Structure 1
Amino acid sequence: MMKPQVKVLDTVIQRLKSLDNPCFGKLFGIFGKNTHIILGLQLNNEPEDNDLYALPAEIDFCGFFEAFGETRNTQEVLKQCSSIEVTDNPIFLQVKLTIQNDIQCSVICNNQINNTSYSLVSIQEVYTQFVHLRLQGDLQITSEQNKQSVSDSFATLRKTIASGVMAFIFPKRNIILVTSDSESGIVGLTGDASFGEICQDANIEGGSKKKKQNQTLELEIVDINLIKKVTNDPLSGEIKGHSPVVVVNKKQLDFLAIPIRVDFLATINKDTQLSKIYDILIESAIKYLRLYENVLQKYLERYKIESSANIPETLHFFPKDCGHFLTRIVFSNTDDVMKKEREQLHKLLLLNMTTPVFRKTLQYQFVKAERLNGPLRNVHEGIKPTNNDGKVCLVRGDYEYYHYCQNKMDDNGWGCAYRSLQTLASWYTLQGYVDREVPTFKEIQTCLVSIGDKPNTFINSRQWIGSTEVNYVLNSLLGITCKILYVSSGEEMSTKGPELVNHFETQGSPIMIGGGVLAHTILGVDYNQQTGNLKFLILDPHYTGDENLNVIQNKGWCGWKSVEFWDKTAYYNMCLPQVPKGI
């Protein structure tokens, strides 16, 4: 038998190379023409972790990895691989814990470990070959409020879905996938084209292509609706064996009536024939229901659900350090539990424990929100570098550019510090460190009044604020602490290179600076340690125009400035927001 070609996503290798302790875990991948593509990994988990998340359909458990010191447990690997059902040739990645963490790839054939080569593949390369199907539809279960009854109800629902009574519709296209209405199971299309041809032919309406910020990655998402057929196939030959029987039980019981909004993903190769999609979508629905049941059962153990008041929510994530979708189902009133589960997920997936990934605000946005004249993001990207030949340290992550006169508000001449504060707040929101929207002017003013910093007359006024007030608001509304860096004159800014470099290297957040009657945002520095020359990447909130990136960059509203930019006669306070600990 020919060994399969093995490709491994580069983010998988990066996480394996970061290991420093022996461990054992699973590999997840997708299969093509004699090719295994390893997309994900997870530490060997306990059964109770099965309700934390699910991978898209078609991304299957396909092998193991082991990080070891001097020896590896070959027999344990072979024993574990016998449980893998989707392939006869599981993949085994051996991580020898050294300075470089050398990684050897093997394929299991005939109960033997055979070394093989592997090639790295990037996220961009993978998703030129694959498309995501997003299955949505409405189901419902009614069950007694006990573990066994809930389990039986879900089992019955899964059996019903697998029985062939479901159909799948491509919205706004006359294509329906069924089991036996036509020879191929396709209604509305002649022949059996590949899914990629269908997408290319019409760019299926209801789907979307989304370009990720800061990447060339494009994810193709195709929406598909789940419906239940209400008539039988004419040749099904279904015969009722007897009349319906009604059983009356007058015992008082607690019942659950839970509407289930199916929302799940499948990752398929564009070469997949359309006639093969039906079974993949059935698998998606069943996989979603298993995750839903696990989450619901665990919730029932902790809390009493009254009727259908508490409906779980489906969240999809696409963490860049994973390189694939993960789906979670959560109850919104269990914040303490969600925090613990986020920590478990980071450990299971070998993600760092300092940067949030699975907070609700970081869920994948399938449809880009259209914000009329809304703030632009990351307007410094594409700015020409300086000729300073120094160490360049920039803001890390996304932020929004807030400036004068946005949202038809005339704050020209007094609102620059408010706008800089909003830019800082947007950074924390977009990184997932806080679960709230960027504060409005009124919320900022109300906050300062409530903490006793300003009188009641400050609300709805046009009074300025400075770096001290920015510090108070970030701490009070967002729970963010700040360091204050003071200079007695603009000229003294030239001495602050080391402190600013350290901030952007360790924190990565934008800085608000106030001096005299002006406020600005610092997005980065270019510090030449040899010459002592320092340049600042400035985002200027005094801009009053439309959201025009060319104007903003070409006219210097975002750009590199020298020390001469600062007023020599004014003192300055810099507000350096700190990154909170925890995920």
Structure 2
Amino acid sequence: MVVMVTKEVACVPSQLERRELKGFDAEGGLWIVNVKKKWATWLLISLQPKSKLGEENGIPQLPLDTKDLLFRIKGGIELEGVINKTDEEGIKAGFSEAINELIAKVNSQAFGLSDLESPLYIWPKTHTSTRSSRLREDTQCKAILKYVLAEVSELLRKASKKKFLRVVPLKVINLEIHFEMTRPEHLQKIVVQHNKMPCIHFKLTLPIDVVVFANPEEPWGKVQDQFVEAVTAQLSAMDKCIQRYTNGKTVPMPQAFHFELPEKTTLTTVIYPAGISDANLEQQRKELHAELGLDNKPFLRRTMAYLFPSDEVKSLYLRNIHKYIPAPDPDEFKVSLVHGLYTFHHCLQDYENDSDWGGLYRCLQVVISWFNLQGYIDKPVPTLRELQNMLSAISYKFFSHVIMKEWLEPEAMNALLDIFNISCTTMEVQANKPMDFSSHFEEQGTPVVISKFVIFSEPEAYILLGFAVNEDPKASKGLILNIMYTGIDDFSWIIEKAIEWKGEEFWKELDDYGLWLPQRPEGV
């Protein structure tokens, strides 16, 4: 099975420049940052045990599952070999032999790692480095923070000192792979052979992307051994990928993807072949689900891959902001939450003046983002104006609604959902009728759209992201994402103003309301 599970870790923050590292404890201690001005896609927000969520000194907190350092090892390794037989089995054998030779190189003294931002160079096999006098075998590995740049969230860099959330960014140490050409075992011999049989010489670059987590107090020598083992394991996994997906004379390029799994503080690395669609990888994912004990929902699609610090600039919108607020006490409530990933969209975003009429458009963006990030649809999240153009193209009736900037009616909402092949169960609910959404989140896991539109009152729209129930039906709580939020895209402001667990009063204030419960397609 092409899978590697790393040591447990909670979350990875984003990039911080060298000049901003002065707040770090050089010995690897935690750096506490108070957040005000930015969102927190990669923040680790600390609390006590995982099962208990609450407050300490009035500061909301979430679980912190690890203090480990994350080493990310990347680089292109040249794979070179000879194919003696040009049928499919011969091609597979040639690539397998070449990868075995590459594994031997990784396990030799020629294998090295470097930090691009510093003069540090490491030879993991011999436990030596350009700082050998300071980084000895028995030195705690957190000492490396004195010599390399630890990457943390760029969002944190711009955060103010407002004491709203206490957050702990995990340190990410990026290392690049090298091979030293002057090592005796790396010197290549020239062999002249006379062989009348045809053969093919091949050369390509394998994109290695390995993650290794280490306790800050682990001996540096042991951690270096883990580097060698992890790269070796990924090469073996890439060989399995090539053996599985080579078709005739077409050999796939193996690529590494890292995933967070539910109820685990673990990153799981899966090797997928480039150029093969997620639909054609369904069988491999089913095998992985069985091996990892995952249920029948998407977890390992490429669109769900973990975002590392360097990926932060590619994401324009906040993801999964509900992760950063305390949930109801699990000893008192059964809590069911949205599954997977989504992005937060709200009124006045993207320089649009839609606070009076754009709520349901924004709800659509959240729902579409969920289906896109789970890999169910290929279409990206449309802008508000793109949604309006789509609606105008359907019929003249909808065109007039767009021109008049009117609140979306159910018929128009359903028409836009149909464009994205999103099926919904819809219903109208009276405010005094209790609803339990637990089964929806357990079975479907999709964000639910709530729309209040009553004549002579201001329309409202919300996204329901979770539900908590206990023995008293009146004590139930819903996790409400306020799409009508018109503030700035600022993490602390959004946590304060745009998302909250709300009780019975919220539903009563809605009067009558409409619901769209998106139904996810089958498959993993």
TM-score normalised by length of structure 1: 0.63
Higher RCO (CA-CA < 8 Å; seq separation 6+): 2
Q: Is the 2:260–2:268 Cα contact (8 Å) retained in structure 1?
A: yes
Q: Is the 1:520–1:538 Cα contact (8 Å) retained in structure 2?
A: no
How far does residue 435 in structure 1 lie from its aligned partner after superposition? 5.7
Select which of 238, 248, 254 maps to 1:292: 238
How far does residue 485 in structure 1 lie from its aligned partner after superposition? 0.9
Q: Is the 1:194–1:270 Cα contact (8 Å) retained in structure 2?
A: no
Q: In structure 2, what is the equivalent of residue 205 of structure 1? A: 149
SS of alignment partner, residue 325 of structure 1: strand
How far does residue 533 in structure 1 lie from its aligned partner after superposition? 9.1
Tell me the distance in 2 between the aligned counterparts of 1:229 and 1:258: 19
Counterparts of 1:297-308 in structure 2 under 5 Å? 297-300=243-246, 302-305=247-250
5+ residue gaps, structure 1: 1-49, 59-119
Q: In structure 1, what is the equivalent of residue 409 of structure 2? A: 466
How far does residue 329 in structure 1 lie from its aligned partner after superposition? 1.4
Q: Is the 1:404–1:543 Cα contact (8 Å) retained in structure 2?
A: yes
Q: In structure 1, what is the equivalent of residue 229 of structure 2? A: 283
How far does residue 572 in structure 1 lie from its aligned partner after superposition? 4.2
Select which of 237, 241, 266 maps to 1:324: 266
Q: In structure 1, what is the equivalent of residue 111 of structure 2? A: 166
The answer to whether residue 448 in structure 2 is matched with residue 498 in structure 1 is no
Q: Is the 1:373–1:407 Cα contact (8 Å) retained in structure 2?
A: no
Q: Which entry has the higher C-alpha Rg, 1 or 2?
A: 1
Tell me the distance in 1 between the aligned counterparts of 2:319 and 2:271: 31
Select which of 274, 278, 302 maps to 1:335: 278
- Measured at CA, do residues 455 and 336 of structure 1 come closer, stay the same or move farther in structure 2, by a change above 3 Å? same
Q: In structure 1, what is the equivalent of residue 206 of structure 2? A: 260
How far does residue 54 in structure 1 lie from its aligned partner after superposition? 2.2
How far does residue 196 in structure 1 lie from its aligned partner after superposition? 3.1
Tell me the distance in 2 between the aligned counterparts of 1:245 and 1:155: 20
The one-letter code of the counterpart of 1:498 is: M
The answer to whether residue 78 in structure 2 is matched with residue 136 in structure 1 is no
How far does residue 200 in structure 1 lie from its aligned partner after superposition? 5.1
Select which of 462, 467, 470 maps to 1:521: 462
Select which of 257, 278, 290 maps to 1:347: 290
The one-letter code of the counterpart of 1:328 is: V
- Measured at CA, do residues 293 and 412 of structure 1 come closer, stay the same or move farther in structure 2, by a change above 3 Å? same
Select which of 133, 148, 163 maps to 1:190: 133
Tell me the distance in 2 between the aligned counterparts of 1:537 and 1:55: 32
Instruction: State the Cα deviation string for residues 359-399 of structure 1 (Å, max 9, x = none).
Output: 112222221614787346436964898xxxx9887653454
Q: Is the 1:467–1:575 Cα contact (8 Å) retained in structure 2?
A: no
- Measured at CA, do residues 471 and 252 of structure 1 come closer, stay the same or move farther in structure 2, by a change above 3 Å? farther
Q: In structure 2, what is the equivalent of residue 34 of structure 1? A: none
How far does residue 288 in structure 1 lie from its aligned partner after superposition? 1.5
Higher strand share: 1
Q: Is the 2:347–2:362 Cα contact (8 Å) retained in structure 1?
A: yes
The one-letter code of the counterpart of 2:450 is: M
How far does residue 287 in structure 1 lie from its aligned partner after superposition? 1.7
How far does residue 404 in structure 1 lie from its aligned partner after superposition? 1.6
Count of residue pairs the alignment pairs up: 443
Tell me the distance in 2 between the aligned counterparts of 1:125 and 1:532: 32
Q: Is the 2:238–2:271 Cα contact (8 Å) retained in structure 1?
A: yes
How far does residue 345 in structure 1 lie from its aligned partner after superposition? 1.0
How far does residue 227 in structure 1 lie from its aligned partner after superposition? 0.4
Q: In structure 1, what is the equivalent of residue 43 of structure 2? A: none
- Measured at CA, do residues 215 and 512 of structure 1 come closer, stay the same or move farther in structure 2, by a change above 3 Å? farther
Q: CA RMSD in A?
A: 4.5
Tell me the distance in 1 between the aligned counterparts of 2:261 and 2:506: 37
The one-letter code of the counterpart of 1:518 is: P
The one-letter code of the counterpart of 2:286 is: E
Q: In structure 1, what is the equivalent of residue 356 of structure 2? A: 413
Q: Is the 1:405–1:411 Cα contact (8 Å) retained in structure 2?
A: yes
Instruction: State the Cα deviation string for residues 269-314 of structure 1 (Å, max 9, x = none).
Output: 43343344444323222222111111112211x35327xxx53321
Tell me the distance in 2 between the aligned counterparts of 1:519 and 1:424: 17
Task: Report % sequence identity.
Answer: 21
The answer to whether residue 308 in structure 2 is matched with residue 366 in structure 1 is yes
- Measured at CA, do residues 221 and 520 of structure 1 come closer, stay the same or move farther in structure 2, by a change above 3 Å? same
Instruction: State the Cα deviation string for residues 405-437 of structure 1 (Å, max 9, x = none).
Output: 212233343322101111233344456655654
SS of alignment partner, residue 401 of structure 1: coil
Q: In structure 2, what is the equivalent of residue 231 of structure 1? A: 182
Instruction: State the Cα deviation string for residues 464-500 of structure 1 (Å, max 9, x = none).
Output: 43333333433441x432111125xxxx3222x1355
Tell me the distance in 2 between the aligned counterparts of 1:184 and 1:528: 55
- Measured at CA, do residues 459 and 171 of structure 1 come closer, stay the same or move farther in structure 2, by a change above 3 Å? farther
The answer to whether residue 502 in structure 2 is matched with residue 565 in structure 1 is no
The one-letter code of the counterpart of 1:438 is: V
TM-score normalised by length of structure 2: 0.69
- Measured at CA, do residues 443 and 185 of structure 1 come closer, stay the same or move farther in structure 2, by a change above 3 Å? same
Select which of 484, 491, 504 maps to 2:426: 484
Q: Is the 2:278–2:301 Cα contact (8 Å) retained in structure 1?
A: no
Instruction: State the Cα deviation string for residues 330-354 of structure 1 (Å, max 9, x = none).
Output: 124143441111111111122222x
The one-letter code of the counterpart of 2:282 is: K
The one-letter code of the counterpart of 1:576 is: L
